[in-house]
Amino acid sequence: MAAYSQISTTRPARSLSTIPPSQEETPLTQTTQRILVTGACGQIGSELIPVLRQRYGDTNVVATDIRPPEADCLKDQGPFELLNVCDRARMDDIIARYAIDTVYHMAAILSATGEENPTLAWDVNILGLVNVLEIARQRKLVRVFCPSSIAVFGPDTPHDCAPQTTILTPTTMYGVTKVTGELLGEYYVHRFGLDIRGVRYPGIISSETLPGGGTTDYAVDIFYHALKYKSYSCFVRSDTVLPMMYMPDCVKATMDLMDADFNSLRSHCNFNLAGMSFSVEELANEIQKHIPDFVCDYAPDFRQAIADSWPQTIDDSPARTQWGWRPRHDLKSMTRDMLEKLRPRLT
């Protein structure tokens, strides 16, 4: 999800539609959705958008972010708009002009960055979400995806097999905003009848986009350092265990939840999502099977306390039973695939 900084916005170069959604065919009967993705330049957004465009067509998926894109798949293969999600008027204008019926709201300030600037984290994560939800209510959008995170958990949460419904006492502003976001989403479902959906992402590991400002960033950084330098200094202890997920599973889970029959969902905005859990030492050992001279040392910083407040494993049985979630990757297959994809670029 995208890190935030303030930049000016520009008017779009083109518009796919100027007809308000209310005057068009009811979106539920359309074979092709018109989708807006916020935080498009972030770790998840940048890999979700190509999949959405492949399914729905390049021109039907509008990518937005507060900064211009660097990836060709965002710049050249479909519409892109500059958007500060705190600017409701700008967001509403884009949604109206492109006749959007579905929003994937991926923009957020993550855990470590949020601790450095908690006020900004609150503004972006909550005001941005409220803007999406209010526009969805007013324009009767078909569906909204607003992800949460394992950061909703805290020291009072069971650390082993943390259930979906449990005590939520986050210790970070990011976690506070995600608990608030889950409650807001459920409120809009029950109060206004909107279709709002979300999962609690674990740490996400990707070979394509570097993370930005999260506590689980080490699980990506370690691969880059292993290939380039044969060494890595990790900012959490060797025995730190956290839930993780490989990006292909992350994108699949997002799409699967959005495809699910609404009537089959007994939850909406707070699905636990598990892929794999491992310690940093276990990850380092798996990398050493492919790079024998790789060494990892440890210099824990303020992120250790954040990691210690989160569960080591989580129970995602509601996602498995209600919409058929199943991860495809484990530590072994993820490590092998990451190294295969990164090696040509880094060596």
Show which residues are catalytic. 174
Residue 62, SS3?
Answer: strand
Q: Is domain 21-203+246-272 in CATH 3.40.50.1220, yes or no?
A: no
- What 73-79 contacts at long range (C-beta under 8 Å, 24+ apart), as own/partner pairs, is 73/46, 73/49, 74/40, 74/41, 74/46, 74/49, 77/50, 77/53, 78/49, 78/53, 79/12, 79/14, 79/16
What pLDDT, on the 0 to 100 scale, is given for residue 75? 75
Q: How confident is the model at residue 212 (pLDDT cuts 50, 70, 90)?
A: confident
What pLDDT, on the 0 to 100 scale, is given for residue 166? 98
- What 286-291 contacts at long range (C-beta under 8 Å, 24+ apart), as own/partner pairs, is 286/331, 286/332, 286/335, 287/222, 287/223, 287/226, 287/335, 287/339, 289/335, 290/335, 290/336, 290/339, 291/226, 291/227, 291/230, 291/339
Q: What is the mean pLDDT of residues 171-188?
A: 98
What pLDDT, on the 0 to 100 scale, is given for residue 203? 96
pLDDT tens for 255-290 read: 999 999 999 999 999 999 999 999 999 999 999 999
pLDDT tens for 67-114 read: 998 877 787 889 999 999 999 999 999 999 999 999 999 999 999 999
What value does the mean pLDDT of the chain take? 91
List the helix and strand counts (H, then E) for the chain: 13, 14
Q: How confident is the model at residue 7 (pLDDT cuts 50, 70, 90)?
A: very low
Residue ranges covered by each domain of the chain: 21-203+246-272, 205-244+276-312+329-346
Using the structure block, give the residue that is written with the tokens 């939800």.
Answer: 133
Q: How confident is the model at residue 31 (pLDDT cuts 50, 70, 90)?
A: low
Q: How confident is the model at residue 10 (pLDDT cuts 50, 70, 90)?
A: very low
Does the pLDDT of residue 328 top 60, yes or no? yes
Q: Which CATH superfamily, name and number, covers 205-244+276-312+329-346?
A: UDP-galactose 4-epimerase, domain 1 (3.90.25.10)
Task: Confirm whether 21-203+246-272 and 205-244+276-312+329-346 share one CATH topology.
Answer: no
Does the pLDDT of residue 235 top 80, yes or no? yes
Does the pLDDT of residue 152 top 70, yes or no? yes
pLDDT tens for 216-234 read: 999 999 999 999 999 999 9
What is the pTM (predicted TM-score) of this model? 0.89
Structure-model confidence comparison of residues 1 and 141, the more confident one: 141
